[in-house]
Structure 1
Amino acid sequence: MRITFERTGGFAGITKKTTLDTNTLSAKEAKELPLLVQAADLFHLPAQIPSPNPQSDRFQYRLTVEDNDKQHTVIVSEAALPGTLRPLIEWLNNAAKQK
């Protein structure tokens, strides 16, 4: 599984982007990441999840997940982040900080 994660916006407007591949992650991380993707039901989320009340200085996330022959991209505003997706976003944010 391979995930490209991009966070844009925020107060400083700094973009953070990283690509993670379960083939190059630690064994623990390689086990956790697919479970988080599955718990988020990411492949069934719509391509865009906009905020009903757009606010400046909020983050926007773009996730592209490739798994075997499947690929799906989701763009979601921080203000519209579904609860099921939050643990995956937090995990990816932490992973991006470590790179």
Structure 2
Amino acid sequence: MRISFERTGGFAGISKKTTFDTATLPPNEAQELPRLVEAADLFKLPERITSPNPQSDRFQYKLTVEDNGRQHTVMVSEAALPGTLRPLIEWLNKNRS
């Protein structure tokens, strides 16, 4: 499984991108990441999740997951982050370099 993760926005408007690949992650992370993707039900989420009340200086996230020949991209604003997706976003933010 590969995940391309991009965070943009925030007060400084800085964009940060990174890619995670379970083939190269330490074993414990390589097992945790697919569990988080499955718990988020990521492949069933819409491509764009927006907040009805957009707020400036909030982060925007773009995730592209590739797994077993499937690929799905989700763009979500921090203000509209579904609870099921929050643990995955937090993990990606914590582990990005």
Q: How does the TM-score come out when normalised to structure 2?
A: 0.99
The residue that corresponds to 2:80 in the other structure is: 80
The residue that corresponds to 1:8 in the other structure is: 8
Q: Following TM superposition, by how much is the alpha carbon of 1:95 offset from its aligned partner in structure 2, in angstroms?
A: 1.0
**Consecutive aligned runs of 4 or more in structure 1 exceeding 6 Å deviation:** none
Question: What amino acid is the match of 1:47?
Answer: E
Unaligned runs of 5+ in 1: none
Question: What amino acid is the match of 1:22?
Answer: T
Question: What amino acid is the match of 1:90?
Answer: E
Superposed, 1:10-89 pairs within 5 Å as 10-89=10-89
Q: How does the TM-score come out when normalised to structure 1?
A: 0.97
Aligned length: 97
Question: What amino acid is the match of 1:12?
Answer: A
CA distance in 2, matches of 1:51, 1:25: 33
- Percent identical among aligned pairs is 77
